[in-house]
């Protein structure tokens, strides 16, 4: 292996934490209202450091899933459930409905098929990065594992589809050399292929929206977010007063499409990419966490500015988890060749 996979693992998990930390304070706010708070976002961060003192449930559950993969030497359902239940003791920071309700049931021994909430929210996508990393060399296993990891807490197919797409995107980016150009056509066809085997009505809608994204990548960030903010959202969840506004809805399809849109429009600098993600409006911590994992996988840890890392709580632990996950991954990889 010639690629520096450890650099990619560290970048991906640190990217989750940075995006989550910087996006957390803006969760639930319209993009235009976020931008009314500052002239220069970087100045705003450093003048208001207290606002950014923690990550949220996105990073917490990502780290618990990573620990489960490390301990189980890969995905083991019981081990993953045990680590998700451990999260309740952290305690959870700004938890989403789908994860907290189902994991509380798992704690009392209810089977995951009964405990799983019928949520199509972002709770399973925001924690998927370790699976994208760990199974980057076996896409069939990646798809199955991403789906199962999602079903443990979210029975809605939109959550599974989103988790598979983001896991596949991470695996694609991990296999690129640092800043090797993404071949857009190739990237999109891999994302579509990753869910083409799933027989759900919503799968067609997801694929159509990925195709729509591909043909709208030239839009400005504002215009793209207005176009995709509430994509796929059905009544009664649709927020009518936010029509024509940039506000990423906390639903799998809209979040995945908006996050990919911002990421693909910011491939010059990790910092600029993160700033665009966390000021998207709406579910900003999760857009930051998911997009942060993509940016970290793409740019690598070495390209993340030190001052951004210095903002992250438990950063040494996050690097330690990244290294241990990498070590288990390398052993697995050596077995495959």
- Pick between residue 224 and residue 250 the one whose CB is nearest to Mg ion: 250
Number of residues counted as binding Mg ion (CB under 5 A):
4
**Binding to Mg ion by residue 56, rule CB under 5 A?**
yes
Stretch that binds Mg ion, among 57-65, 68-76, 84-92, 291-299 (CB under 5 A): 57-65
Torsion of Cα atoms, 193 then 64 then 67 then 3, to 10°: 40
Q: Which of residues 192-221 bind Mg ion (CB under 5 A)?
A: none
CB-based contact 187:298 (threshold 8 Å):
no
> Which string of DSSP letters, residue by residue, matches 102-129?
HHHHHHTT--HHHH-B---SSTTTTT-H
Helices (H) and strands (E) in the chain, counts: 18, 0
- Pick between residue 62 and residue 194 the one whose CB is nearest to Mg ion: 62
Indicate which single residue of 11, 19, 58, 295 sits in contact with Mg ion (rule: CB under 5 A): 58
CA–CA gap between residue 334 and residue 115 (Å, rounded): 37
Q: Please, what is the minimum distance in Å from the beta carbon of residue 236 to Mg ion? A: 23
- In terms of Cα–Cα distance, which of 58, 208, 76, 236 is closest to 149? 76
- In terms of Cα–Cα distance, which of 128, 81, 80 is closest to 104? 81
Extract the tokens encoding 32. Answer: 């235009």
- Pick between residue 67 and residue 283 the one whose CB is nearest to Mg ion: 283
**Plot region of 281 (φ>0 → left; ψ -120 to 50 → alpha; else → beta):** left
Q: Please, what is the minimum distance in Å from the beta carbon of residue 283 to Mg ion? A: 8
Q: Please, what is the minimum distance in Å from the beta carbon of residue 97 to Mg ion? A: 11
How far is Cα of residue 61 from the mean position of the Cα atoms in its chain?
11
- Pick between residue 195 and residue 248 the one whose CB is nearest to Mg ion: 248
- Pick between residue 56 and residue 279 the one whose CB is nearest to Mg ion: 56
Binding mask 16-55 for Mg ion (x = CB under 5 A): ----------------------------------------
Q: Please, what is the minimum distance in Å from the beta carbon of residue 57 to Mg ion? A: 4
CB-based contact 245:281 (threshold 8 Å):
yes
- Pick between residue 102 and residue 203 the one whose CB is nearest to Mg ion: 102
Rounded alpha-carbon distances, angstroms, from residue 210 to 133, 204, 226: 22, 10, 16
Indicate which single residue of 14, 18, 57, 230 sits in contact with Mg ion (rule: CB under 5 A): 57
Helix (H, G, I), strand (E, B) or coil at 282: strand
**Binding to Mg ion by residue 67, rule CB under 5 A?**
no
CA–CA gap between residue 94 and residue 84 (Å, rounded): 15
Q: Please, what is the minimum distance in Å from the beta carbon of residue 58 to Mg ion? A: 4
Q: Which sign, positive or negative, has the C-alpha torsion 183, 203, 56, 213?
A: positive
Q: Please, what is the minimum distance in Å from the beta carbon of residue 32 to Mg ion? A: 22
Q: Please, what is the minimum distance in Å from the beta carbon of residue 90 to Mg ion? A: 13
Residue nearest to Mg ion (CB): 56
CA–CA gap between residue 292 and residue 14 (Å, rounded): 8
CB-based contact 94:27 (threshold 8 Å):
yes
Q: Please, what is the minimum distance in Å from the beta carbon of residue 94 to Mg ion? A: 5
Q: Which of residues 238-297 bind Mg ion (CB under 5 A)?
A: 285
Q: Please, what is the minimum distance in Å from the beta carbon of residue 98 to Mg ion? A: 12
Stretch that binds Mg ion, among 5-13, 56-64, 79-87, 216-224 (CB under 5 A): 56-64
Q: Which of residues 102-121 bind Mg ion (CB under 5 A)?
A: none
- Pick between residue 24 and residue 132 the one whose CB is nearest to Mg ion: 24
Residues 6+ apart with CB under 8 A from 60: 87, 90, 92, 93
- Pick between residue 278 and residue 308 the one whose CB is nearest to Mg ion: 278
Query: Which stretches of the chain bind Mg ion, using CB under 5 A?
Result: 56-58, 285
């Amino acid at each position: 292996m010639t690629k520096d996979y450890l650099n990619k693992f560290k970048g991906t998990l640190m990217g989750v934490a940075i995006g989550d930390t910087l996006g957390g304070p803006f969760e639930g706010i319209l993009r235009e209202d976020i931008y009314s708070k500052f002239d220069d976002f970087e100045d705003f961060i450093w003048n208001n450091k207290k606002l950014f003192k923690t990550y949220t449930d996105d990073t917490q559950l990502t780290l618990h899933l990573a620990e489960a993969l490390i301990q189980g030497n890969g995905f083991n359902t019981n081990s993953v459930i045990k680590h998700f239940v451990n999260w309740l003791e952290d305690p959870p920071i700004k938890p989403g409905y789908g994860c907290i309700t189902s994991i509380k049931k798992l704690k009392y021994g209810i089977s995951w098929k009964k405990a799983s909430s019928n949520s199509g929210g972002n709770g399973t996508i925001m924690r998927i990065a370790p699976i994208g990393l760990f199974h980057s060399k076996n896409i069939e296993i990646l798809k199955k594992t991403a789906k199962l990891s999602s079903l443990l807490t979210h029975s809605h197919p939109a959550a599974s589809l989103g988790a598979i797409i983001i896991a596949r995107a991470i695996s694609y980016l991990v296999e690129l050399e640092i800043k090797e150009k993404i071949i857009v056509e190739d990237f999109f066809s891999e994302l579509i292929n990753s869910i083409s085997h799933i027989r759900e009505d919503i799968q067609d809608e997801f694929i159509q929206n990925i195709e729509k994204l591909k043909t709208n990548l030239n839009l400005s960030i504002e215009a793209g977010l207005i176009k995709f903010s509430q994509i796929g959202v059905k009544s009664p969840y649709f927020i009518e007063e936010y029509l024509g506004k940039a506000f990423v809805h906390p639903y799998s399809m809209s979040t995945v499409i908006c996050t990919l849109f911002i990421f693909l429009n910011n491939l010059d600098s990790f910092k600029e990419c993160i700033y665009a993600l966390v000021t998207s409006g709406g579910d900003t911590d999760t857009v930051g966490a998911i997009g942060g994992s993509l940016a970290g996988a793409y740019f690598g840890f070495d390209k993340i500015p030190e001052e951004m890392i210095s903002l992250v709580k438990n950063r040494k632990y996050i690097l330690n988890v990244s290294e241990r996950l990498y070590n288990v991954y390398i052993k697995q990889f050596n077995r495959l060749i």
